[in-house]
Amino acid sequence: MSSEPNINIEHVATLARIALTDDEKRVFASQLGDVLAYIEKLKEVDVSGVEPMAHAFPVFNVWADDVPGPALPVEAVLRNAPASRDNMISVPKVVE
């Protein structure tokens, strides 16, 4: 799909917080144009008889049973904490 829609790739890169070279801007603008052209093509498909769904297959309870297990030792938990005090994780005050 060679036709590139009018895409401000610099604005898109700014929103994504990425720095692009001129070559990357050219390539990504073309690729993004291809994606948008394909989406336009998909809009032509008649889906009037298709029921809306969130998943392609039925989803049943996918969660495991919530069964308590052995707790981690306090030393192991505090080893991953940014700060601790009196065997507790210390966090900055959020609410005044």
Is 5's pLDDT higher than 70? Answer: no
User: What does the pLDDT read at residue 4?
Assistant: 52
pTM over 0.75: no
Domain boundaries, the chain: 9-42
Distance CA 19, CA 28 (A): 12
- pLDDT tens for each residue of 40-79: 999 999 999 988 888 888 888 778 888 999 999 999 999 9
Distance CA 77, CA 88 (A): 9
User: What does the pLDDT read at residue 51?
Assistant: 87
Better-scored residue on pLDDT, 64 or 13: 13
